[in-house]
Structure 1
Amino acid sequence: MTSRSHSLRDAIEEQIAVGELRPGQHLDETELATRFGVSRTPIREALIQLASMGLVVIRPRRGAVVAEIAPQQLVEMFEVMAELEAMCGRLAARRMFTEEHAQLQAAHDACREAREAVDSDEYYYRNEAFHEQIYAGSHNAFLAEQARNLHRRLRPYRRLQLRVRDRVATSFSEHQEIVDAIVAGDGERTAALLRDHIMIQGQRFADLIASLAHLSNKAA
């Protein structure tokens, strides 16, 4: 893939993550080419790459659309994400070095700044950096890559969760417990905390579905 199509892929992925391009929305190659000031060829290459990541669905003779996830599949994907994060956390508690603890704490402090600013969008980006420190801290490159891939697939939905009332404050409190467990070297507690942190069930799932419905109504 060319550097141009790579940067376009990242730009389109970001628009999907922030809700500018919504699940089920048609992705017109000509319109995207005009928007980004490029030809259709790198746009097509970017969409193919996004399709391989599961973020876009390319339909024969009908073009591409932003991928939609059915509620049951969404639950299943978050279940897998929770287990991947738990595995990363368990290993990170055993394997992170002192300097990596400092980097994790710095990422946590950055989340605090976004929380205090009452900025859920900024918190979202800093939250991603926080979880990335845990993936890297597992010192298992294959596991970290699997976690990153699924994290990217769920980005639009993880972002929506943070817009639910009080979720940012709750998320930050959960981060603090996770940091403490990792620094203490308690792998099992870290795994349990991360699993609960990621899982959507009960009221959290209802809130996420309500947020998706609200987004769809605004687009209608």
Structure 2
Amino acid sequence: MKRSNTQRLKDSLEDDIINGRLAPGERLDPEELAARFQVSRTPIREAIHQLTASGLVTVIPKKGTFVARVGVEQLIEMFEVMAEMEGMCGRLAARRITTQELEGLAGALERCEQAASTGDTDEYYYENEDFHQRIYRASHNGFLVKEANQLKQRLKPYRRLQLQVRNRVSNSLSEHRTILAAIRAGDAAAAEDAMREHVLIQGERFSDFIATMKQFNSQAS
């Protein structure tokens, strides 16, 4: 899946923030970013807008853009809620998915497998996004889809970067296969459990990121 200059810039800044290379409270200089990434001001503005929506940076009028201080406790709470929302999406999808939607979901899993074979975790993440979005839509509950997407936007950088943990991509693929099998069988309870555990496993593998954020939040304070 080809990524734009904005997407590549945003992904790189996410990596730097989550892994502590950009510390909480540090100012992001648009001119320095333009020179570093060899891009114009437009993708920089768009990337900062997306990072603001994710809660990773804050824009202070007349002062600039700064790396946000992310609360670890709130992050854990968001993952718990996300797991329940995705579980509900899985349960409803198992009951309501159409034949066409099921075929599309199977195709999304195949693309995840192809991306995993390249060893590119970012490529896998964006195909993984499509797999999840198809399950959301197959729930046929517009309010749930809207709420799930809003929270997922906040968690996107953390869900993307946790795929860099050793063996996480292969485990994620295995979990996707279990989810698809449950939805295909119309087993709502199994689909709900598989989706919930899929996200909770992601959250549990955040210990390294959380430790890093605690360290840099402490230094910035």
Scaled to the shorter chain, the TM-score interval is 0.7 to 0.9
Question: For 1:142 and 1:202, how far apart are their aligned partners in 2?
Answer: 24
Question: For 2:169 and 2:155, how far apart are their aligned partners in 1?
Answer: 17
Letter in 2 for 1:96: I
Provide the residue aligned with 2:210 in structure 1: 209
Give the aligned CA root-mean-square deviation in angstroms: 3.3
Letter in 1 for 2:146: E
1:100 aligns with 2:101: yes
Question: For 1:104 and 1:173, how far apart are their aligned partners in 2?
Answer: 15
Letter in 1 for 2:200: M
Change in Cα spacing, 1:12 to 1:203, as seen in structure 2 (3 Å) is closer
Over residues 76-135 of structure 1, what are the superposed CA-to-partner deviations in whole Å (9 max), with x where a residue is unaligned? 111111111111111111111011111101111111112222222211111111111111
Q: TM-score, normalised by structure 1?
A: 0.77
Report which structure shows greater RCO (CA 8 Å, sep ≥6): 2
SS of 1:153's equivalent in the other structure is helix
Alpha-carbon offset, residue 197 of structure 1: 0.7
Change in Cα spacing, 1:207 to 1:37, as seen in structure 2 (3 Å) is closer
Over residues 127-156 of structure 1, what are the superposed CA-to-partner deviations in whole Å (9 max), with x where a residue is unaligned? 111111111111122211221222121121
Question: For 1:124 and 1:107, how far apart are their aligned partners in 2?
Answer: 12
8 A Cα contact 2:10 2:47, kept in partner: no
Question: For 1:91 and 1:23, how far apart are their aligned partners in 2?
Answer: 41
Letter in 2 for 1:142: F
8 A Cα contact 2:54 2:157, kept in partner: no
Provide the residue aligned with 1:197 in structure 2: 198
Provide the residue aligned with 1:37 in structure 2: 40
Q: How many residues align?
A: 207
Question: For 1:49 and 1:117, how far apart are their aligned partners in 2?
Answer: 27
Between 1:124-133 and 1:113-122, the stretch displaced more is: 113-122
Change in Cα spacing, 1:31 to 1:205, as seen in structure 2 (3 Å) is closer
Segments of structure 2 that go 5 or more residues without pairing to the other structure are none
Provide the residue aligned with 2:170 in structure 1: 169
SS of 1:197's equivalent in the other structure is helix
8 A Cα contact 1:160 1:211, kept in partner: no
Letter in 1 for 2:164: R
Provide the residue aligned with 2:189 in structure 1: 188
Segments of structure 1 that go 5 or more residues without pairing to the other structure are 1-6
8 A Cα contact 2:10 2:48, kept in partner: no
Letter in 1 for 2:119: V
Q: TM-score, normalised by structure 2?
A: 0.77
Q: Equivalences for 1:39-78 in 2 at 5 Å?
A: 43=45, 47=48, 51=52, 54-78=55-79
What percentage of residue pairs aligned between the two structures are identical? 46
Change in Cα spacing, 1:11 to 1:124, as seen in structure 2 (3 Å) is closer
Change in Cα spacing, 1:55 to 1:46, as seen in structure 2 (3 Å) is same
Alpha-carbon offset, residue 67 of structure 1: 3.1
Change in Cα spacing, 1:197 to 1:214, as seen in structure 2 (3 Å) is farther
Q: Equivalences for 1:9-158 in 2 at 5 Å?
A: 13-17=10-14, 19=15, 22=22, 24=24, 25-31=26-32, 36-38=39-41, 43=45, 47=48, 51=52, 54-158=55-159
8 A Cα contact 2:182 2:190, kept in partner: yes
Change in Cα spacing, 1:88 to 1:203, as seen in structure 2 (3 Å) is closer
Change in Cα spacing, 1:140 to 1:11, as seen in structure 2 (3 Å) is farther
